[in-house]
Amino acid sequence: MYSGNESQNESLKFKLIVVGDQNTGKSCILNRFANEIFEENYQATIGLDFLNKTVNINGQEVHLVLYDTAGQEKFRSLIPMYIREAQIILLIYDITNKESFESIPKWFSDVLNVKNDEAIFALIGNKVDLNDKRVVSFEEGKKLANEKNIIFEEVSAKDGQNFNELFNNKLFNELYKKFKNKFDEIIRKKEKEQTNNEYIGEDNEISQNTNVKLDLDGNNINYQKKKKKKCC
């Protein structure tokens, strides 16, 4: 029999992690996505931060844990264990900072060194609102992403440009395709739960009736009568 608690535990959960050089906007990207806010003041991430976000993917509620890593060298030893758990890995650079783009192959190989067969990767050029200060072209970014065979998008955590395209159209579509069996499993469990609840509902109505009558085969007459009423 299903209880309310079980059904709560049966929601879909995935983990997303951002990596990249310091100051590229990793925390701002996650804040924009999770809380729809942007903060101009720079506060370097110390160690690692967590955020939570619930989204709807193809009609299913999905809980995302967002791991915000620090770009500073001294915290990098923390990153691998979170990469291992993640289903979505975002490699972030700043389109106004060439060095941050040149670091991407190193980030990519560091991530691949940690076993993670099932993850979805995306290369993201941030701060596209600062187009006049751009030093990394769209084509350069796209070319690198194509070479690595991963998703590519340019975004702005400041004004939210291309967030919908990146998350809803690209990442979540890919997540659904890659983990379709998990989505299907949840749908099946929910359908089963609904059927059980309907059955329990009927049963309860009968058990409230203290005057239960059985026919010669031991079947509950009240129950049969009730069923008959329903179908005719």
**If binding is defined by CB under 6 A, does position 107 make contact with ligand GTP?**
no
Nearer to ligand GTP, 94 or 179 (CB): 94
Residue located via tokens 């691949």: 112
Residue 177, CB half-sphere, CA atoms under 13 Å: how many? 9
Contacting range for Mg ion; rule: CB under 5 A; set: 29-37, 40-48, 133-141, 213-221: 40-48
The two three-digit tokens of residue 167, written as one number: 């998350």
Nearer to ligand GTP, 158 or 178 (CB): 158
**If binding is defined by CB under 6 A, does position 214 make contact with ligand GTP?**
no
Beta bridge partners of 124: 92, 153
**If binding is defined by CB under 6 A, does position 50 make contact with ligand GTP?**
no
The one among 2, 7, 22, 60 contacting ligand GTP by CB under 6 A: 22
What are the DSSP calls for 26-89, one per residue?
HHHHHHHHHHS----S-----SEEEEEEEEEETTEEEEEEEEEE--SGGGGGGHHHHHHH-SEE
**If binding is defined by CB under 6 A, does position 27 make contact with ligand GTP?**
yes
The one among 123, 127, 151, 167 contacting ligand GTP by CB under 6 A: 127
Distance CA 89, CA 86 (A): 7
**If binding is defined by CB under 5 A, does position 116 make contact with Mg ion?**
no
Residue 232 is given by DSSP the state -
The one among 24, 27, 87, 103 contacting Mg ion by CB under 5 A: 27
**If binding is defined by CB under 6 A, does position 26 make contact with ligand GTP?**
yes
User: Residue 113 CB, nearest distance to ligand GTP (Å)?
Assistant: 20
**If binding is defined by CB under 6 A, does position 87 make contact with ligand GTP?**
no
**If binding is defined by CB under 6 A, does position 36 make contact with ligand GTP?**
no
Answer for the pair 69, 82: CB distance below 8 angstroms, yes or no.
yes
Torsion of CA 172, 151, 15, 169, to 10 degrees: -20
User: Residue 150 CB, nearest distance to Mg ion (Å)?
Assistant: 22
Contacts of 120 (CB under 8 A, 6+ apart): 87, 88, 89, 151, 171, 174, 175, 178
User: Residue 26 CB, nearest distance to Mg ion (Å)?
Assistant: 5
100 binds, among Mg ion, ligand GTP, none (CB under 5 to 8 A by kind): none
Residues that bind Mg ion (CB under 5 A): 26-27, 45
Which residues contribute to the site for ligand GTP (CB under 6 A)?
22-28, 40, 42, 44-45, 70-72, 126-127, 129-130, 156-158
